[in-house]
Amino acid sequence: MNRRKTAIFKAGLDTLYYTGAHRALAPLTCGAGIIFTLHNVVPGAPPAFAPNRILTITPEFLKAVVVRIRAAGLDLVSLDEAHARLQGEGSDRRFACLTFDDGYRDNLEHAYPVLKRHDVPMAIYVATCMPDGTAEMWWLALEFAIAAAGSIEVPTAEGSETFSCETLEQKYDTYETVYWRLRAMDEEGKRATVRNIAARAGIDMAAAVRDLSMTWEEIAWLAGDPLVTIGAHTVTHSALAKLSDAQVEYEMAESRRLIGEHTGVRPCHFAYPYGDAGSAGPREFALADRLGFATAVTTRPGVLYPEHGHHLTALPRVSLNGDYQSLRYLDLFLTGAPFALFNRFRKVDAA
């Protein structure tokens, strides 16, 4: 979501909050549970140019979230427990899951200690290219290149186009334009383009990836804690909808196999990279089911209703991101009201 859309969405959330409409809607919209999507947990304020700051919250906010969720009467549970409850087994109390995508080292350094102290289960969906050191974190490579350079050159069919990155405003504009241009490209084209941009800006992405990712040893250590679930998140972190049937099956099955081999625990939960409707759809949902994953999560926004017990590989999530580090937004999200309005009160979106 770009900065303008975020501002509009926040204004809508504020209206909902200050009119109290969310409280009136809550009995209809709060559902059975909620799965939160998180990425990075890092202390301190982000630098001025941080277009990926939406992916980061602070450990202090994470702790406040845990306390607030419990105060609201929800149980913080593992994905296995969420799966059981969606199938009508066990408690019918409302629940929340905290899930972290990709496999960042800050999850171990800054999220795990907070959650461990409060006895909160966590799930980390690992893209195996992260611990393997082969991840192409193109969204970060683009950020680093724009942060470092006064301009960047983006290859085009006709040659190349130059974007200014002198001022902070220009850096944000350039990021926004190039990011969405890349999102529209196929995986290979996108990666080749960013490799080119990063190389020209002198960015060593291989070193950055080693720095940002957990190692296999760290992941295996975490997997040994019963509070931690390691889920699969593909091998190459690709938008699956853009790949062939065989490639999609490989991404799902091989990431599960590799994680099982390195940690001794074969994952039974999966997250689709990016997770929006353009990156994962009915073909992916059916395949995750056929391959035997107990649950698979998207980033389509929404809370969980009992109906999701019949769509366990197309579960919605709610992003707990850096743009919404206020308990006011958390309170709203827990009512389910913003997503019910956004989804026009359709409970399941698995198409």
Query: What is the contact surface with Zn ion in residues (CB under 5 A)?
Result: 101-102, 273
Of 101 and 323, which CB lies nearer to Zn ion in the complex structure? 101
Q: d(Cα 231, Cα 294) in Å, to the nearest integer?
A: 11
As beta bridge partners, residue 98 has 36
Nearest distance, CB of residue 34 and Zn ion, angstroms: 19
Of 76 and 232, which CB lies nearer to Zn ion in the complex structure? 232
| The token pair that represents 196 in the structure block | 């080119």
C-alpha torsion 258→254→97→90, nearest 10: -100
- CB proximity list for 160: less than 8 A, separation 6 or greater: 153, 154
Nearest distance, CB of residue 125 and Zn ion, angstroms: 7
Nearest distance, CB of residue 225 and Zn ion, angstroms: 22
Nearest distance, CB of residue 236 and Zn ion, angstroms: 11
Of 9 and 139, which CB lies nearer to Zn ion in the complex structure? 139
Tell me which H or E stretch contains 317.
strand 315-319
Nearest distance, CB of residue 39 and Zn ion, angstroms: 7
C-alpha torsion 256→257→258→263, nearest 10: 80
Of 16 and 280, which CB lies nearer to Zn ion in the complex structure? 280
Of 101 and 106, which CB lies nearer to Zn ion in the complex structure? 101
Distances (CA, A) of 139 to 8, 38, 96: 23, 16, 29
Of 235 and 334, which CB lies nearer to Zn ion in the complex structure? 235
- CB proximity list for 27: less than 8 A, separation 6 or greater: none
| The token pair that represents 133 in the structure block | 């050191």
Strand-pair category, 95-102 with 159-164: unpaired
Nearest distance, CB of residue 165 and Zn ion, angstroms: 26
Of 52 and 193, which CB lies nearer to Zn ion in the complex structure? 52
Q: d(Cα 34, Cα 19) in Å, to the nearest integer?
A: 23
With CB atoms as reference, the residue minimizing the distance to Zn ion is: 101
Of 17 and 144, which CB lies nearer to Zn ion in the complex structure? 144
The answer to whether 320 and 36 have CB atoms below 8 angstroms apart is yes
Nearest distance, CB of residue 331 and Zn ion, angstroms: 27
Nearest distance, CB of residue 103 and Zn ion, angstroms: 9
Distances (CA, A) of 276 to 92, 267, 314: 29, 22, 11
Tell me which H or E stretch contains 91.
none
As beta bridge partners, residue 122 has 228
